[in-house]
Amino acid sequence: MSHVFPRQINAPPIKAVASEGCYIIGEDGKHYLDGSGGAAVSCLGHGDVQIIEAIKQQTEALAFAHTGFFTSAPAEELADLLIKHAPAGLDRVYFVSGGSEAVEAAIKLARQFHVENGEPQRRHIIARRQSYHGNTLGALAVGGNQWRRAQFEPILIDVTHISPCYEYVDRKADETAVDYGQRAAQELEDEILRLGPDKVMAFVAEPVVGATMGAVPAVEGYFKRIRNICDTYGVLLILDEVMCGMGRTGHLFACDAEGISPDILCIAKGLGAGYQPIGAMLCSKTIYDTIGSGTGFFQHGHTYLAHPVACAAGLAVVNAILDRKLLKAANTRSAQLFAALNGAFGQNPYIGDIRGRGMFIGLEIVKDRETKTPFEPGLGIAAKVKKAAFEAGLICYPMSGTRDGKTGDHVLLAPAFTFSEQHSSELVEKLEATFFSVLSGTGRSY
């Protein structure tokens, strides 16, 4: 009898006992191909000796020193390295233990900035529907995914949500991608004006939407317009790269592809690559200096801020991504994987869209490819895909509610940047078997 509180009380997970490269091994000896890095975490694969060695050395040298008293060499070095490669204007790094903590810190920093900048009336946050920003109460309130929010709604802070940039479904037939992006971005300006242009503190978005939509990048020009609107109204732009950052899209920072810089940026997952729990919030010099010349104190903090061992792991991971040229590798492997997926599912009647960027790929499952009609939510397609894939020895990340938080299904893939062509073939084969077993009984000829 286990005393661990699992995610699914009625379906406790099997025990993992080891991991090796792109596989996790169960206690029955079965090898599971890690096609999603868990949830876009394990970007280097498993058992990387360099990262393990960095953790060992740091644990021996200094396992913990509270940030109320000390900084540490790995925290300093990792901050320098991140800022060296970060989008222009970002200057300081606040290390936390995961994605939700990074988003919480970002929300509070945005609010404190406006208070210390003489605009305490700025209190509204705008985010996007179908986004996920974490499960702590502040981050959950910012997220726009209906089923995750539903039962907690009465205790969430008030955040308003505009449409995501979702070309596959929302672009009109007679509209160019760029025109569609401008129309979608215009919703931000309309919402700022509705709430009061001097009352909005921040806009929060994922550059490539991950868990809730399945690797959906924005169309060209969308984020440039968003940046422009934020600048016009003094609204801080918070980009959540917890899932899509740290090389996942083939860029170290996902917003590099958009040619913009946020005021605050959140990273996690790939930063520790699963070797240590670590996240970070990066902020601009302007924000930092405003608080520095004001109270001089960010009213926030956790016990494990900038944990030395977590920072040592993060430092080793980012160095590995850069030194091993894994951004280039991720782009090459991405092209191979996209080709394999398009070859296998490009004409599949149930796969409406294969999208993404770098090693961050989504497949949207539909009932009817021509009309893009999703399956009825009651069929639980994503849950069935997850179960069947796992039985076939594949870890992938399917999710329902792609369209509006209730309907729609997708599968998210986020393999290690070290995924080989054989791994891609194995993934596609297992996914083919999975889709066949789940979808061939749903009515249309397969």
> Rounded distance, CA 250 to CA 256, Å?
10
Beta partners for 400? 409
Counting contacts by CB under 6 A, is residue 344 touching ligand PLP?
no
For residue 412 the two structure tokens come to 């998210």
Contact window for ligand PLP (CB under 6 A) among 55-63, 92-100, 225-233, 342-350: 92-100
Contact window for ligand PLP (CB under 6 A) among 88-96, 127-135, 187-195, 417-425: 127-135
Counting contacts by CB under 6 A, is residue 132 touching ligand PLP?
yes
Counting contacts by CB under 6 A, is residue 240 touching ligand PLP?
yes
Pick from 22, 243, 283, 287 the residue near ligand PLP by CB under 6 A. 243
Angle of helix 308-323 versus helix 73-85 axis, rounded to 10: 40
CB of 209 to ligand PLP, least distance (A): 8
Counting contacts by CB under 6 A, is residue 309 touching ligand PLP?
no
Nearest to 138 by CA among 180, 108, 183: 108
Contact window for ligand PLP (CB under 6 A) among 55-63, 132-140, 179-187, 374-382: 132-140
Counting contacts by CB under 6 A, is residue 167 touching ligand PLP?
no
> Rounded distance, CA 180 to CA 219, Å?
8
Helix, strand or coil for residue 296? coil
CB of 360 to ligand PLP, least distance (A): 11
> Rounded distance, CA 184 to CA 4, Å?
44
CB of 226 to ligand PLP, least distance (A): 16
> Rounded distance, CA 402 to CA 374, Å?
9
> Rounded distance, CA 192 to CA 278, Å?
33
Q: Return phi, psi of residue 358, to 5°.
A: 65, -135
Counting contacts by CB under 6 A, is residue 39 touching ligand PLP?
yes
> Rounded distance, CA 394 to CA 24, Å?
10
Counting contacts by CB under 6 A, is residue 312 touching ligand PLP?
no
Counting contacts by CB under 6 A, is residue 137 touching ligand PLP?
no
Give the nearer residue to ligand PLP in terms of CB position, either 40 or 428: 40
Counting contacts by CB under 6 A, is residue 104 touching ligand PLP?
no
CB of 240 to ligand PLP, least distance (A): 5
Q: Which residues of 22-40 are buried (b: 16+ CB within 10 A; e: fewer)?
A: bbbebeeeeebbbbbbebb
Nearest to 223 by CA among 195, 267, 188: 188
# residues contacting ligand PLP (CB under 6 A): 15
Residue 112, H or E segment: helix 99-116
Counting contacts by CB under 6 A, is residue 98 touching ligand PLP?
yes
Counting contacts by CB under 6 A, is residue 134 touching ligand PLP?
yes
Counting contacts by CB under 6 A, is residue 214 touching ligand PLP?
no
CB of 68 to ligand PLP, least distance (A): 23
CA distances from 313 to 50, 63, 102, 186 (A): 9, 12, 17, 41
CA torsion angle 312 318 324 326 (round to 10):
140
- Burial (CB < 10 A; 0-12, 13-18, 19+), residue 346, is exposed
Pick from 211, 215, 260, 305 the residue near ligand PLP by CB under 6 A. 211
Residue at shortest CB range from ligand PLP: 99
CB of 440 to ligand PLP, least distance (A): 31
Give the nearer residue to ligand PLP in terms of CB position, either 128 or 367: 128
Pick from 34, 48, 189, 206 the residue near ligand PLP by CB under 6 A. 206
CB of 356 to ligand PLP, least distance (A): 14
Tally Cβ neighbours within 10 Å of residue 445: 5
Contact window for ligand PLP (CB under 6 A) among 5-13, 107-115, 126-134, 215-223: 126-134
Q: What is the DSSP letter of 251?
A: S
Counting contacts by CB under 6 A, is residue 144 touching ligand PLP?
no
CB of 136 to ligand PLP, least distance (A): 7
Pick from 103, 216, 264, 305 the residue near ligand PLP by CB under 6 A. 103
- Binding residues vs ligand PLP (CB under 6 A): 39, 98-100, 103, 132-134, 206, 210-211, 240, 242-243, 268
